Structure 1
């Protein structure tokens, strides 16, 4: 073998015949190209899928955020309106409790029972108020990046929206029921106030011996209740009525205690007679053994004041001897004379010039009432009044 032949036949260290210098590189196989194309296609498809999923997740998240914000706004509106209804209801309940504290004898039993029932139902409804939490969630509403996180956030927001919507609906229904119940208590309360007047009249009649000032204050408190609307003012007027009734009853009891004793029944008769002819002027009575020096040895004495305040009122003081001798026409004439003084407050214009020098008027009034006995009507002490004055007095009844 020649050297040239030997060189061309030399093997590389691995026993391979080396490629000739300058020969072209082998081409890639078709399979490799196909796999490459497939890989790129799969990558593009996967990227598109991820982008699509992300876009959908973002849209879903945006919708969840918008729905949640709407739910929060609605919940806040419902919460505010419900709070207003609850505040009004609390006021109504407080007023009802205050009004119902009035003693039963001072109010109408049926109206009291009706208001008690609706108030108890009202209180029970308020106690059943739904527990709501309308505050924004503490979890952040920042937008996640990964679509799976976006989906989880959307689900959380959707659940929160559902909770808020359900609670708002429950609160709204409760507020509507509460408003209806509030109206029922208010209507019953107004009926309760309106029903007091007849009861108040009976209470006053049962306390006939009460002092004038307390009687006037009691009447004024009853007038203040007439036409009252439901509110704290009504509660205050009820309180004033109850206080005035207590004062009325207290002075009645005190006067009854003063009249007590063997002469009690006759004193009551004397007072009833005087009131029957006083033309509505309020009278209160004091009894004493001696009045202006009279009261012993068959004598009798009396005095009377007159005042135009509140339609007229008077305090008449009588000696015990009048009660002892009641039935004697002289005693009736004397009491009539004192009522003549008292009624000046009602007939001030008729009394005219005798308002200050009142004895002639009282004598004339007693005579005009048919008491002609000079020993009783005051004529023996003050002289006979003019016929003109006697006729004038007959216009005062």
Structure 2
């Protein structure tokens, strides 16, 4: 009997492989590792992308913050500058309005029109003023974390920056225009004040009968205007000039009323003559029926004061009979004698020892002026002065 070999039996794994074939364990391990590596790589790439986007967003946010802070500072500076210019312009507008309130007859018409035009343009510009006070705008209180939030915050800041930049530019342009308009008002204001002097001279000339004190105050007001330029006190100085002009006109009207009547033209002729020889000394006149006991029955009388204040001034009082007999050389001599008293204030050094006892000087002055009739020049009443005094008086004109 022979023994035959029997094939050995093997055990198959439980269940079939997906492909119908068996997969070794080592291959399954390598596949799992590969997928893990791929997943990790994708995760790292995504993380890197997020981190990069966040870093870039942070840089944009930082730049937006810096630009916004600069815009806030620039806007505040522009607003403050414009507000300061506006305050100065507002003061100029107020001064111009007050100056333009002066009555037309007391100022130059062309200069007033030019100032009114400049002031009107300034008022119009100020009425259309842009915003010059900039409240700090809303902005993120803390730095966002997510890059999308960072970009949204950056856009908000950039929008506010653009708004503030535009406001600052408007404020700067407004301030520049306002400065030009204000300077135009100043130039026109200076011309307006300068043009008052010739008008004032005509006003004074038209009020020749005004009293001395009011005339001096009027002249002083004109000098104060001429000696300074347009500025914060220009309106006050113009107001003082207007008030002085009103007083001048008032006393002129009162004096004109006092000498009105049938003798008016003769009184005016007497006063005109006296002023023509007074050497610039201010004269005012009072008329009365009787002066120092003279004035009736063909007689005539006069008195005069003298004062060195403000270059010299005097009040001369004359009897009505002088006006009635005007044209008689005796009357002219008498008036010249009184002017001789008045002009003492101008020639105090020449008058010398006769300043207190002034009659000899007045007689000498009348004689020196060519009035030799003793009945008019005062010689018959006060005696003849020395030839030396007569010659000395000729130096006072």
For the structure 1 residues 190 and 98, does the alpha-carbon distance in structure 2 shift closer, same or farther, using more than 3 Å as the test? same
Q: What is the alpha-carbon distance in structure 2 between the residues aligned to residue 303 and residue 287 of structure 1?
A: 11
Find the counterpart in structure 2 of residue 235 from structure 1. 235
**Alignment correspondent of 1:187:** 187
Aligned residue number for residue 150 of structure 1:
150
- TM-aligned CA deviation for residue 133 of structure 1: 4.6
> What is the aligned partner in structure 2 of residue 210 from structure 1?
210
1:71 paired residue number: 71
Distance 1:121 1:40 in 2: 75
SS at match of 1:318: strand
Give the equivalent residue in structure 2 for 1:161.
161
Please state how far the C-alpha of 1:32 moved relative to its aligned partner: 4.7
Secondary structure of 2:307 counterpart: coil
Q: Distance in 1 between matches of 2:60 and 2:38?
A: 32
- Contact kept? 1:291, 1:319, Cα under 8 Å: yes
Superposed, 1:1-397 pairs within 5 Å as: 28=28, 32-397=32-397
In structure 1, distance between residues paired with 2:159 and 2:226? 55
What SS does structure 2 have at the residue aligned with 1:286?
Answer: strand
Tell me how far 1:132 sits from its aligned partner: 4.1
Task: Give SS of 2:283's match.
Answer: strand
* 1:199 to 1:341, Cα distance in 2 relative to 1, 3 A: same
Q: How many angstroms apart in 2 are the aligned matches of 1:133 and 1:375? A: 85
Unaligned runs of 5+ in 2: 1-13, 16-23
- Partner SS state of residue 145, structure 1: coil
In 2, Cα distance between equivalents of 1:364 and 1:131: 79
Q: TM-score, normalised by structure 2?
A: 0.91
Distance in 2, matches of 1:58 and 1:157, equals: 13
Unaligned stretches of 5+ residues in structure 1: 1-15, 18-24
**CA RMSD, Structure 1 to Structure 2 (Å):** 1.7
- Structure 2 SS opposite 1:287: strand
- Contact 2:325/2:331 (8 A) holds in 1: yes
Is the CA contact (8 Å cut-off) linking 2:79 and 2:133 kept in structure 1? Answer: no
Contact kept, 8 Å, 1:194 with 1:227, in 2: the verdict is: no
The normalised TM-score by structure 1 is 0.91
Q: Give distance in 2, aligned partners of 1:133 and 1:46.
A: 48
What is the number of equivalent residue pairs in this alignment?
Answer: 375
Alpha-carbon distance in structure 2 between the residues aligned to 1:268 and 1:361: 26
- SS at 2:233 equivalent: helix
CA distance in 1, matches of 2:67, 2:379: 99
CA contact (8 A) 1:111 1:192 kept: yes
Q: CA deviation at 1:236?
A: 2.2
Distance in 2 separating the partners of 1:359 and 1:316: 15
